[in-house]
Structure 1
Amino acid sequence: MKTLALLAVVVFTISGICAVDRNKFKTCDQSGFCKRLRAFKPEKSQYELNLDSVLVHGNVLSAEVVTRDPADEKRTVLWQYAFKLSALADSTFRVELDEADPLYPRYRTQLALDGEPRPDSLKLTSNDNSKLTLVNKQGHKVVITAKPLKLEFLDQNGEVAVVLNENSQLLVEPLRVRREKTEEDGDGNQVNVEEEGTWGESFQSHHDSKPRGNEAVSLDVGFPEADHVYGIPEHTDGLALKTTTSGDPYRLYNLDVFEYELDSRMAIYGSVPVMYAHGPKRTVGVFWHNSAETWIDVVNYSDSNVVSSIVNLVTGGQKRRVDARFMSESGIVDVFVMMGSTPDEVFKQYITLTGAKPIPPKFSLGYHQCRWNYVDETDVRTVDENFDEYDIPMDVMWLDIEYTNKKMYFTWDPIKFANPSEMVANLTAKGRKLVVIIDPHIKREAGYFLHEDATELGYYVKDKDGKDYEGWCWPGSSSYLDFFNPAATKYYSERYRFENFPGTSKDVHLWNDMNEPSVFNGPEITMPKDCRHYKPTQDGEEGIASFWEHRHVHNEYGLWNLRSTHDGMMDRVDGKYRPFILTRAVFAGTQRYAAIWTGDNSAEWSFLAASIPMCLSLAIAGNSFCGSDVGGFFKYPEAELMTRWYQAGAYQPFFRAHSHIETKRREPWLYPPTTTALLRDANRRRYALLDYWYTLFYEHSVQGLPVIRPLFQQYPNDPETYTIDDEYLLGNALLIKPVTSAGATSINVYLPGNTLWYDADTYMPHTEARITQPVTISKIPVYQRGGSIIPRKERIRRSSTLMADDPYSLVVALDSNNSAEGTLYIDDGETYEYKNNKFIYAKIEYNSKHMTYTFINDNAHYPTKSWLERVVIAGIKTPPKSAKLQQGDKSTPLQMTLHKGNDVLVLRKPGASMGKPWTITFAY
């Protein structure tokens, strides 16, 4: 939404600020644990596996790990740790290392996983007193070297695919009792001193008390034979991660960064600690299951700028290898190793752990219109009517914070939004919806029911002294609900009930913003790390052991906020209707609850270009439902940039125009008529493909594959695809190359796969891998893969709801074998009735003799009124003389038109119902 750093008072200006203020955010050297751990480079790891303690039971190996004093000839044990290796379904392993008897419980991330991972078998096959060898059901081996501890994960060919602690950077800082250290001052007096940073550290004017002391964890991960690594969003540089030996590591720490900069490894709103490594031999991945602040170093040995000053290189001079090192401020070592071995397989493995995005309500795939802020009900009605006046489809109107009564959530401004129910009804009469914003900060104002209740019932996050934490955000003085408290979560969820939020209905959906959480006067514009969260306590736990600190849960906070919102929206409709939620904070598992966007971007060409790799990185990390603010949140996009952004946004999963309160209004009709026409065309292209989008999201929900895909996912053996991030695949059938530079008259496109690609506008085929595509301002470079079938709806109406029963067109792009296939998913678009088999999931196949439409799930049915209006067959070299439709007992001859200029055959009005199987037979 928006970002501002507050000074001592809530007085600020926006017009004079034009770039991120780096001084507000830490570098690694200013982050105590990052500076400390990055310098940790022992020649040999102190961690050893006690072979006498090894026990294998079911899918788990458990053992004791110890550290010893290297300077002690007696090899005295310093610390004891509990080690677990688990074999999980889908060729995944889990490695956990915790203190055997910690002074206090160490935090274990709670919400990222979608339930308990399913077990696999684990068999100990060898124990030679220095190494253990274990194997899972799929034939992947794990070789554990005891002294020093090292884990090698071998693929099914017996080659090392992932290795842990080869560079000796495993570290779990044990919790210690705080003891005062004394030194003699200049007068000979003993004075208390503290080791710098151990029990507290400062950043600017903020002090972090660190009551548990240092408790960081670290682990190095090696990827032999990898060319590149990907993932760990959210960041603003390319899809393929860069070597970090020059400069800071990648940082994962959810932050509200005003006008974030591009090509940067700085932390912004999201933190998903999953990394994938890819090369010609394999794809593998690791998921670092930790919700604390995390820094990640990357060393790619093929990079020309790699130096050895950061990591201890133990690689034998290998060039095809990437190393990474994860460093977190707290928690335990808890890492999932996903053995792949293709991009598809490893992406599915991550989704198996953290959950797929459920099928979104269909309207949410349409176009969204937002602004901070539409000022009143008249403004909303006028904008809504103008979309009809200018014949531009639109599904959702949005309201930012100004709709509330003095920024008190779950209320309406009594003057500007006096009749919200009527406003909503006017939208829903056209099949449209409303989204309103609710942020986690709660205005501290006497008489405000939410503040009064949270204060009385103890539902706020506490400060380091156990009092309600008070910070500054949009309402001014604010406190923050503690979503880790089940009672607070339940209370918050109940606020979404229709009786508690008058004016809302099932057609009012939610936007959870500022949920990093954003605190304008906090350290790094967020909550102090020594704030306290609810913790279920065991008998005898008190003091420090009775609460979690914000440092432990920071990156997870927004996820708890989302779950509470999701639960409330489900409860208000008795679980019947699918909710839509948008979030800015992101963590592993966020996809189960919400769509995301790339935050406060600017109306600049560079931000348009950056939206592609940013969303691709998020998509492969589970968050397919991603988009950027179309047109840019800050500044004003001139006509050409606005046109290109609409054209790009129409092919990104979340398609919303949004802008800052101080920007010039920029609804499509406020541009010159020629530009309005181009924006209309982009929107209509989106709506024509809504059923293809919807099918992809259904398939994601059951298969786990990203909806938008980097080229290397589909073409893993083509090194040319490994670093391409300015074009991408929509499903496996469409390739999108947005125009992202001013004044472009042509762009270079890479068409992978040694196959036919058809221009989506002209159906002209391309056989070469590299083409120069001429582009006018109206051209959107989109290509359909030969061998695919795409469903479309050509009767574009004012909203997607009104198109539900409209007929389909099928675009068949033939491959070199004159064949093609595709799928189509249909349900009611809004309820969970699909779980009761009330849906259609159909396979469409074409060869020179037949075109068939059959149900993949014969037990599922849906009474759609849609029918088949047209079939377009591109690339047909030998057209049939006749075609006949067979559906049930009815046989119908079909009209055909051949376009010889581009070898396109059109079957006109077959009239087949899409609710039943059918066959078209060709005669020659």
Structure 2
Amino acid sequence: MHFTPLSDAAVDVEFRALHAKRFDSYAIDPNVGTSAYSLEDSDNTLLFQGQSLQVRVTKAPFNVAFYGNQNLLLSHESGFFQYEGLRGIRFGLGEDEKLIAGGQRVLGMDRRGYRLPLYNKTHWGYTTESNQMYFGLPALLSSKGYGLIFDNAAKGAMDLGASESDVLQFEAIAGRNAYIVVAGLSDNKVDYSKLIQNFTAITGRQPMPPAWAFGNFASRFGYRSEQQVRDVVKKYQTLDIPLDSVVLDLYWFGPEMQGYMGNLDWDRANWPTAETMIQDFKEKGIQTVVITEPFILKSSSNWQSAVDYKALATDMSGKHPRVFDMFFGTAGLVDVFSEQGQNWFWQKYQNIFSDGVAGIWGDLGEPEVHPENTLHATGTANEVHNAYGHQWAKTLWDNHLKDYPEERLFLLMRSGFVGSQRYGMIPWTGDVSRSWGGLKPQVELTLQMGMLGLAYTHSDLGGFGGGDDSFDKEMYIRWLQYGVFQPIYRPHAFDSIPSEPIFHDKQTQDILRQWIKLRYQLFPYNYTLAYKNSTSGLPLMRPVLFAEPDNPDLFDEKNSYLWGDAFFVHPVTDPDVNRVNTRLPLGIWFDYWSKRVFKGQQALDVKVSLETLPLFVKAGSFIPYSQITEPLSLHRGDALDIHYFHHPEVAKAKGQLYEDDGKTRNSLANGQYQLTQFESEYDAGKLSISLIPEGNGFATLPETRTISFTIHNLDIAQVSNIKLVQEQKETQINAEAMGNNAITFSFSWQNQTSKLEIISSHKELQQ
């Protein structure tokens, strides 16, 4: 056994016989080093001690146990096993232990009691149950405060107490016989934020996506011509619905669904001036994303080139491309594990990027068809299957970094492995049913993936397939409303029913226009969540468990969630409802619509209309809004609208606003940003709010801008004085009353430390 400390809270454990083949780790970020642990050797015990994790090896009878701050987290049941054609590891499970595990599955939040295949696979038209999908992860987080990764990409299974109620077993047919343990405790209690930070510190953090990725996508299966896409963009603009990107499905390289996959170049009959179209869109602030697949059809223009370059996975002789039939035609598969395959594939992507394309969609990367008797440079199909999408993403990331070092990569993919987020992968939840049943599990899917590092997981808004007999207008509206509070806003579906709101009736357009504009108004808040994810690994969508980690009942909550720290969201996933039963987490909460104040930790029966869903903001939250809804690639932050949700029981509060140019790859690493810290303090009728900018700034940061400040839960009749202090200069501020018991005022800001003092004429501000 080989123990390698990866950090003070994580250890890699590998079982490898002497002179046995070494397998590389896909899960561990190559930039992670090792950490110093002390070693104590006694008669029957070896003790490796890090700051947050201790490993205790008992010599006889042999056993390995892991402790966090002296609390037992996990121990071997019988440990590693290896037989002909099967290898794995067995651990003990605690009696009341709950498990977030497996990535994309629809089984409920606690996955204990299930046996889950470890083999990425399509699940067409899924609804409310699935134990095997596009992006399975051989990893888990436990309610005891540890994370566990089975660092093996081969075909296998994870048995979470299904076969034996007190045994956790990982198994695979081949590959790396290794696992990683991560601790996440604070003051001897489970700290899910810390656990995720420690988990992503070793598997890698998501780079900052380009700013435009947080806007509205026009996407369907699929646009068939240049003129059609131009007309779609024009219609969005005519109807005053913001738009940041267009996504081109497989018709960009061929006129039919079958026979053209692998061309990876424009079908000039239908896209005669594609490069001009892309440039025209860019001038409007709209980016272009195109689909690519790793399958090269024999009928494609690239078949012979791929064969001659030896870019394809082979049959078992290692000499000839493995050819097979699939829905799209007779094909071979690019070997992304070989140098020839990587180089050949990147040459095609270089041509695509040179046309001005801003983002890549990598589809079918499970791979969707992967015959067992296929040989890759590093193993057979079953030995590398679960790492295929991961390696594909790495190929794109590494080469894009080399050729476009200043630009951020947008990479949409539906399959990968633990740690794929470090290559900028943005996953979606696959070919979901276009139905209420398809909508229901989307919160669960994104929460599960986000907790295990893949924080940009999102759904095809409106549902992808099925439902062609009749359009369910209510379901469509509800799904796109929920999408405002998921990481990526991308309606997408078969074109039998348009996925874009611009092609629906006026009521649908009017409702969704306001929701999409809200998405744009929240860009400063959402972009700050992206910064937090890139620096800490914390997901954008978070289980309500984050608000009450000591409440085990909340572990199972899959219908509501937190959007960052400030928002509590409960999507409407049933038809014909005018009330939704929900439970507010710990804290004090404002109804977003009425601004009524509610104590947390209580059940609420929330009234909703077709225009609303249950949405609450936590007292003490700073919400930075944008006052404009233009394409986000044009966003400059000239005017900011800061909302503070005041309550006298919140004596101190903090918030942040992260800003950069939205496009430079290394803005964080190079300090090319501004991070404004918001701090509030309330005491005996005086509310103080400070704005403290940090960072080196960036080229497009406005030198002067107008801040419009709104304080909720504060009656203007109670305010006797508002003072602004900047660079030791005091200025009196005049405020105006807003509806729902709030005040608003504005001032000029030159990005300097500033302090606001709001004095009440009463002992207490509004209760």
2:698 paired with 1:864: no
Preserved CA contact (<8 Å) 1:109 1:553 = no
What is the rounded CA distance, in whole Å, between the counterparts of 1:659 and 1:259 in structure 2? 12
**Cα deviation, residue 862, structure 1:** 5.4
> Quick check: 1:588 aligned with 2:418?
yes
| Distance in 1 between residues matched to 2:646 and 2:394, nearest whole Å | 45
State how far apart, in whole Å, the 2-side matches of 1:504 and 1:215 are.
47
For 1:651, the equivalent position in structure 2 comes to 485
Matched, 1:911 2:754: no
Shift of 1:413: 0.8
Report the residue type matching 1:290 in the other structure: N
* Residue 183 of structure 1: aligned partner: none
In the alignment, residue 418 of structure 1 is paired with which amino acid? P
2:3 equivalent to 1:90: no
Q: Which aligned pairs between 1:381-396 and structure 2 lie closer than 5 A? A: 381-396=230-245
Give the SS at the match of 2:174: coil
Q: 1:458 aligns with which of 284, 305, 310?
A: 310
CA gap 1:817/1:665 in 2 versus in 1, 3 angstroms:
closer
Distance change (3 Å), C-alpha of 1:237 and 1:867: farther
Whether the 8 Å contact between 1:650 and 1:686 is mirrored in structure 2 is: yes
Determine if contact 1:229/1:275 at 8 Å carries over to the other structure: yes
In structure 2, runs of 5+ residues without a counterpart are 186-190, 255-259, 761-767
Q: Which deviations, in whole Å up to 9, do the C-alpha atoms of 1:71-109 show, x marking residues without a partner?
A: xxxxxxxxxxxx11233313112211122244xx26x24
Q: CA deviation at 1:474?
A: 5.4
1:490 to 343, 366, 375: 343
The separation in 1 between residues aligned to 2:475 and 2:53, in whole angstroms, is: 50
Query: Structure 1 808/737 Cα, relative in aligned 2: closer, same or farther at 3 Å?
Result: same
**Which of 214, 221, 226 is residue 91 of structure 2 equivalent to?**
221
> Which residue of 2 is the match for residue 340 of structure 1?
184
Cα deviation digits, residues 409-429 of structure 1 (max 9, x gap): 331111111110121122112
Partner of 2:440, secondary structure, is helix
1:595-634 matched pairs, under 5 angstroms = 595-634=426-465
1:489 Cα offset (Å): 1.0
Equivalent residue number for residue 82 of structure 2: 172
Q: Quote the offset at 1:818 in angstroms.
A: 4.4
Deviations for 1:760-817, whole angstroms, at most 9, x for unmatched residues? Answer: 22222111422111001111222111121111113223x2233324411111112413
Whole-angstrom CA distance in 1 between matches of 2:642 and 2:417:
38
| Alignment of 1:885 onto 2:724 | yes
Q: Distance in 1 between matches of 2:176 and 2:728?
A: 65
Q: Does 1:532 align with 2:375?
A: yes
Change (3 A) 1:802 1:470: same
User: Using the alignment, how far apart are the partners of 1:814 and 1:330 within structure 2?
Assistant: 57
State the match for 1:251 in structure 2: 117
Partner SS for 1:336:
strand
Residue 444 of structure 1 aligns to which amino acid in structure 2? K
Q: Say whether 1:274 aligns with 2:104.
A: no
Correspondence for 2:172: 328
Conserved in 2, the CA contact under 8 Å of 1:120 and 1:136? no
- Residue identity opposite 1:884 in structure 2: K
Using the alignment, how far apart are the partners of 1:502 and 1:335 within structure 2? Answer: 38
* One of 380, 386, 396 as aligned partner of 1:549: 380
Quick one: structure 1 residues 225 and 842, their matched pair in 2 at CA, closer, same or farther if it must change by over 3 Å?
A: farther
- 2-side partners of 1:826 and 1:139: how far apart? 33
Distance 1:849 1:783 in 2: 22
Question: Aligned to 1:518, which of 368, 375, 393?
Answer: 368
* Alignment check: 8 A CA contact 2:79 2:91 kept: no
Distance 2:216 2:646 in 1: 31
1:385 alignment partner, SS class = helix
2:405 is the counterpart of 1:575: yes
Q: Secondary structure at the match of 1:515?
A: coil
Residue type matched to 1:112 in 2? Answer: A
Separation in 2, partners of 1:381, 1:127 = 74
TM-score, normalised on structure 1? 0.76
CA contact (8 A) 1:818 1:876 kept: no
1:124 aligns with 2:39: yes
2:597 is matched with 765
1:876 Cα deviation from its structure 2 partner: 3.4
Bigger CA drift: 114-123 or 457-466?
114-123
Q: Secondary structure at the match of 1:629?
A: coil
Please tell me whether the aligned partners of residues 221 and 493 of structure 2 are also in contact (alpha carbons under 8 angstroms). yes
Q: Is the 8 A contact 1:443 1:478 kept in 2?
A: yes
Contact 1:826–1:862 (CA under 8 A) maintained in structure 2? no
Q: Distance in 2 between matches of 1:391 and 1:94?
A: 53
Match of 1:440 in 2: 294
Partner of 1:162: 74
Alpha-carbon distance in 1 for matches of 2:303, 2:175:
32
Counterpart pick for 2:148 among 260, 270, 286 = 286
**Matched position secondary structure for 2:711:** strand
CA RMSD of aligned residues (A): 2.2
In 2, Cα distance between equivalents of 1:261 and 1:902: 40
Q: Equivalent pairs: percent with the same residue?
A: 24
Equivalence for 1:114 = 29
CA distance in 2, matches of 1:144, 1:571: 44
C-alpha separation between the residues in 1 aligned to 2:641 and 2:95?
A: 45
Matches of 1:580 and 1:139, distance apart in 2? 35
Q: Please, what TM-score do these two structures have when normalized by structure 2?
A: 0.92
- Say which of 612, 626, 642 aligns to 2:476: 642
- Kept after mapping to 2: 8 A contact 1:122/1:134: no
Question: Which residue of structure 1 aligns with residue 688 of structure 2?
Answer: 850
Relative to 1, partners in 2 of residues 1:474 and 1:397: Cα closer, same or farther, differing over 3 Å? farther
For the structure 1 residues 502 and 917, does the alpha-carbon distance in structure 2 shift closer, same or farther, using more than 3 Å as the test?
closer
1:558: how far off? 1.0
- AA matched with 1:250: L
Equivalent position of 1:239 in the other structure: 109
Gaps of 5+ in 1: 1-82, 174-213, 300-305, 314-321, 520-526, 536-547
1:860-917 superposed Cα distances (whole Å, 9 cap, x missing partner):
5555227343212123379431213333476543221245x7442222x22324x333
The answer for the alignment partner of 1:508 in structure 2 is 358
Note if 1:375 corresponds to 2:232: no
Conserved in 1, the CA contact under 8 Å of 2:524 and 2:657? Answer: yes
Corresponding residue of 1:58: none
Asked if structure 2 preserves the Cα contact closer than 8 Å seen for 1:687 and 1:796, the reply is: yes
SS in 2 for 1:231: strand
Q: Which residue of 2 aligns with 1:469?
A: 322
Instruction: Say which SS state the counterpart of residue 384 (structure 1) adopts.
Output: helix
The counterpart of 2:58, out of the listed 137, 142, 145, is: 145
Contact 1:421 1:503 in 2 (8 A): no
The answer as to whether partners of 2:120 and 2:133 remain within 8 angstroms in 1 is yes
- Partner SS state of residue 103, structure 2: coil
Offset at 1:616? 0.5
1:126 Cα deviation from its structure 2 partner: 4.2
How far has the Cα of 1:139 moved from its partner?
6.1
Match of residue 580 from structure 2: 747
| Letter paired with 1:427 | F
In 1, distance between residues paired with 2:615 and 2:426? 24
SS at match of 1:170: strand
Taking the aligned partners of 1:719 and 1:112, their CA distance within structure 2 comes to 29
CA distance 1:789–1:223, change in 2 (3 Å): farther
Q: CA deviation at 1:504?
A: 1.7
What is the aligned residue count? 736
Contact 2:261 2:293 in 1 (8 A): no
- Specify the alignment match of 1:75 in structure 2: none
8 Å Cα contact 1:496/1:568 also seen in 2:
no
- SS class of match (2:372): coil
- The answer to whether the Cα contact below 8 Å between 1:109 and 1:291 also exists between their aligned partners in 2 is no
Work out whether residues 441 and 473 of structure 1, in 8 Å CA contact, stay in contact via their aligned partners in 2.
no
One-letter amino acid matched to 2:722: A
Q: Which residue of 1 aligns with 2:158?
A: 296
Residues 117 and 912 of structure 1: CA distance in aligned 2, closer, same or farther (over 3 Å)? closer
Match of 2:237, SS state, is helix
What residue number does 2:765 align with? none
The alpha carbon displacement at 1:700 in A equals 1.2
